[in-house]
Amino acid sequence: MIFVTISAIIIVADQITKYVISNNIPFNVSDQLVPGFLNLVHVRNSGAAFGIFAHNSSLFSRGALSAVSFMALIITVWIVTSQRLDRSSLVGFSLFFGGAAGNFIDRLLFGEVIDFIDVHLGDLHWPAFNIADSALTIGAVIFCIRLIFTRQVNS
């Protein structure tokens, strides 16, 4: 139940925020929230995380990225349903799944992912991201931490 609940919350929050941004901020426009630190933007990413492969927006690239996303979703479901996971691992996989699903939905609907969070410090910018990217990252960090501590305990 934890897996379904957390994943659903991430997917719904991600899709709602992307819908709100798409309908309220024109494409490639930035709206300053915290001066010198945080903007809301409306950008589209046809590549992978942080714009990797964005220069190649061919149908093959979009299909390959969608296929990789779909496989990540299938593998995550397989792990969650076939393994006994502790609560923190289950939360990590839930966040990862919800994030991957949120961006996968964008790829299916638009052929690209909607990004809108622009964090920067002066002129130093982190690539724009979204709720799904945040959940994916946090889920992956939880997974890595669990992996490191499990190996240390078993050594």
The tokens describing 116, both together, are 């809108």
Q: Calculate what percentage of the chain has a pLDDT beyond 70.
A: 86
Q: Is the pLDDT of residue 58 over 60?
A: no
Q: Are 95 and 142 in contact (CB under 8 A)?
A: yes
Q: Where residue 45 falls among pLDDT bands split at 50, 70, 90?
A: confident
* Residues annotated as part of the active site: 115, 133
Helices (H) then strands (E): counts for the chain: 4, 4
How does strand 113-121 pair with strand 38-45? antiparallel
Secondary structure of 61-109 as H, E, C letters: HHHHHHHHHHHHHHHHHHHHHHCCCCHHHHHHHHHHHHHHHHHHHHHHH
Q: Which of 30-39, 54-63, 145-154 has the lowest mean pLDDT?
A: 54-63
- Per-residue pLDDT tens for 115-126? 999 999 978 888
Distance from C-alpha of 66 to C-alpha of 47, rounded to nearest angstrom: 10
For residues 45 and 55, give the distance between their C-alpha atoms in angstroms, rounded to a whole number. Answer: 10
Instruction: Give the pTM.
Output: 0.86
Q: What is the pLDDT of residues 70-117, one digit of tens each?
A: 999 999 999 999 988 889 999 999 999 999 999 999 999 998 899 999
Structure tokens at 128: 């724009």
| Calpha distance 35→49 (Å, rounded) | 25
Q: Say if CB 78 and CB 3 are below 8 A apart.
A: no
**How confident is the model at residue 63, as a pLDDT?**
75
